[in-house]
Amino acid sequence: MDDGMWLTTEQAARRLGVKRETIYAYTSRGLLRRASDGARGSRFRRDDIERLAARGRKTREREGTRTVLESGIALIRNDRLFYRGYDVLLLCGGMGFENVSHLLWGASVEALRAVPRPWVFPEAWREVADAGRGRSVLPLDRIVCGLAALSGTGHRSVIEEECTGEAQRIIAFAVYCATGLLPVDSGGVAGALARGLLPAGKRTVMPPALVSLVDVALNLAAENGLAAPTVCSRIVASVGGDMKAAVLAGLCAMRGTAPGAAAYQVEELLRCYYDNPGCARVAKLVASDRPVPGIGHLAFRQRDPRAAILLERMSAEWPPDADLPSDGALRMAALREALADIREAGLVPVNLDFAVSALCFVAGMSPGAGEALFSIARISGWVAHLLEQLTQNTNFRMQFVYTGPVLRGNNG
């Protein structure tokens, strides 16, 4: 291999001024070509690195003219997350997902109900969800299929809808698609997800405190700004799409490299520690220059406080001597070993993707539970952005710089 054409991971990260994890993200998105060089680890083409560096310079040069959206929904400051000015840590201290959703949608804290009404959806929608249940194994796939079928029946723009009522119906429908349970029969959204994402044989031995932990996870995952799925959802609303179509756009974007998409890799990592205690999987990934899933976050500088909150709640509810049903204690031990290895490797702290998947893994939920829980929570945040979009009427037509062939012929 010609060393002049290739850079190591460390060299590439220094050249671009980014972290190693960002290099891995560029590779997964196809922006960088990687080659394995045996014991020396991965190598990246120098011309790819220089192309990205040049693009970064051009982006910085144009920053003065790029469109900036104003938003009053969420704020990240000093590695703390706020919803409508309230620290999310305080909200998780006793406010359920339904009330947090209404806060995101613009309700005042004083106007929130102590016990929100259960969220329901039309009976006809139930037939749509049941019709596609046997065709999809993963819960998020069932949600996407169900909403795709609903969004094709009739059309109204978001501005014509009674938005918060429609949002409640869509979230309740998504829960039913994922679990086959109705929130109204299960103590709310968190109750239906906590029980319904478990395999059928485990629903009678649900781990203690699981409903409250799922509620906390939903609150933490509901919103964190203009991530790619949120922008996709706002774009659909800006061109007159209905709420179902806007939510569907966000869900489809979740299947890429967006937040929540690391769920499967985290499940696989924790499963390795569960099946083979002492496997040192994290150290092996680092040694082979492969990314460790669920590590770091672009918006948080030092740590993702949402992950810390959820993991701390799990440790408090399920200490080492807790009487967890089935193999929950062994799963919790696997999680603790993985986290210890991550710290030992000197990696940045885990993010909410990791923590939500860890919760679902320890509880013994079915495959895909983490991304389903994350995505249903995020619908609440998207609705907040759709409501904000109606007041801003933002033009999402992007500006671009032409980089194609030299123009020929009579061009002016």
Q: Please report, for residues 71, 98, 162, the alpha-carbon distance to residue 233 in angstroms, rounded to integers and kept in the order given.
A: 15, 21, 17
* Residue 75: φ, ψ to 5°: -145, 135
For the stretch 195-227, pLDDT in tens is 999 998 888 888 889 999 999 999 999 998 888
3-65: which CATH topology? Multidrug-efflux Transporter Regulator; Chain: A; Domain 2 (1.10.1660)
Q: If pLDDT is split at 50, 70 and 90, which confidence band does 256 have? A: low
The arithmetic mean of pLDDT across residues 335-354, rounded, is: 92
Q: pLDDT above 90 covers what percent of the chain?
A: 41
The arithmetic mean of pLDDT across residues 228-248, rounded, is: 87
Token pair for residue 33?
A: 């070509």
Look at residue 63 in the predicted model and tell me its pLDDT.
42
Topology match between the domains 3-65 and 94-402: no
Residue 386 contacts residue 158 (beta carbons within 8 Å)? yes
For the stretch 178-187, pLDDT in tens is 999 999 999 9
For the stretch 116-135, pLDDT in tens is 889 999 999 999 999 877 77
Mean pLDDT (the chain, rounded)? 84
Q: How many CB atoms lie within 10 A of CB 398?
A: 7
The arithmetic mean of pLDDT across residues 153-173, rounded, is: 75
- Domain boundaries defined on the chain: 3-65, 94-402
Q: If pLDDT is split at 50, 70 and 90, which confidence band does 39 have? A: low
Look at residue 158 in the predicted model and tell me its pLDDT.
58
Q: Please report, for residues 19, 320, 371, the alpha-carbon distance to residue 34 in angstroms, rounded to integers and kept in the order given.
A: 16, 41, 28
Asked if pLDDT for residue 67 goes beyond 60, the answer is no
Residue 335 contacts residue 315 (beta carbons within 8 Å)? no
Token pair for residue 146?
A: 């169900």
* Of 334, 368, 375, 332, residue with least CA distance to 352: 375
Look at residue 395 in the predicted model and tell me its pLDDT.
64
Asked if pLDDT for residue 302 goes beyond 80, the answer is no
The arithmetic mean of pLDDT across residues 141-164, rounded, is: 74
Look at residue 30 in the predicted model and tell me its pLDDT.
64
Residue 183 contacts residue 192 (beta carbons within 8 Å)? yes
The arithmetic mean of pLDDT across residues 259-283, rounded, is: 87
Look at residue 231 in the predicted model and tell me its pLDDT.
87
For the stretch 75-110, pLDDT in tens is 888 888 999 999 998 898 889 999 999 999 999 988
CA angle in degrees (0–180, nearest 5) for 37-42-48: 115
Q: Which strands form 42-45's sheet, in the order they lie side by side?
A: 6-8, 42-45, 34-36
* Of 134, 135, 129, residue with least CA distance to 149: 129
Look at residue 20 in the predicted model and tell me its pLDDT.
78
The arithmetic mean of pLDDT across residues 376-385, rounded, is: 95
Q: pLDDT above 70 covers what percent of the chain?
A: 86
CA distance 369 to 16: 36
Look at residue 152 in the predicted model and tell me its pLDDT.
61
Token pair for residue 328?
A: 């929950």
CA distance 102 to 84: 11
Q: If pLDDT is split at 50, 70 and 90, which confidence band does 299 have? A: confident
Most confident range (mean pLDDT) of 20-34, 138-152, 207-221 is 207-221
94-402: which CATH topology? Citrate Synthase; domain 1 (1.10.580)
Secondary structure of the chain in HEC code, one letter for each residue: CCHHHEEEHHHHHHHHCCCHHHHHHHHHCCCCCEEECHHHCEEEEHHHHHHHHHHHHHHHHCHHHCCCCCCCCEEEECCEEEECCEEHHHHCCCCCHHHHHHHHCCCCHHHCCCCCCCCCCCHHHHHHHHHHHHHCCCHHHHHHHHHHHHHCCCCCCHHHCCHHHHHHHHHHHHHHHHHCCCHHHCCCHHHHHHHHCCCHHHHHHCCCCHHHHHHHHHHHHCCCCCCHHHHHHHHHHHCCCCHHHHHHHHHHHHCCCCCCCCHHHHHHHHHHHHHCCCCCHHHHHHHCCCCCCCECCCCCCCCCHHHHHHHHHHHHHCCCCCCCCCCHHHHHHHHHHHHHHHHHCCCCCECHHHHHHHHHHHHCCCCCHHHHHHHHHHHHHHHHHHHHHHHHCCCCCCCCCCCCCCCCCCCC
